[in-house]
Copies of this chain bind each other. A is one copy, B any other.
Amino acid sequence: MPRHDEKREAELLQGTLDMLILKVVALRPIHGYAILQRIQQISQDALQLRQGSLYPALYRLENKGWLDAEWRVQEGGREAKLYKLTPAGKRQLAAETAGWKRLCDAISLVLAATD
């Protein structure tokens, strides 16, 4: 992912970022930069997440006690901040997922309305 990001309309539904991050971190402890790649990879490039959105979000989630961070030396000798899910984070993920499904269904109802 080179520095000169080409233009592309940024696609992300507001309100879903926290949930996506929590979900990816729940898979296994992971550092910030890798979260970007992971979300893109899993979504097959349909979701484009920016660093300028990611890092503030991570800070926010850590502050709320949903993520725990720890500096770790990667293979290759570089340092990275490894995030993992807390029990509270796990509950939060479940709650957000449930809310998402509920809203999703509701919107589908409206979109399917014929009268």
Which residues does A use to contact B, with CB under 8 Å? 11-16, 19-20, 23-24, 27, 39, 42-44, 46-47, 97, 99-100, 102-107, 109-111, 113-115
Contact = CB atoms under 8 A, between A and B. Distances in A.
Nearest to A20: B110
A2 B36 CA distance: 46
A44 B106 contact: yes
A43 B110 contact: yes
Given A13-B15, A14-B15, A115-B27, A42 B107 contact: no
A49 to B, nearest CB: 11
Contact of A20 (B46, B105, B107): B107
B47 A110 contact: yes
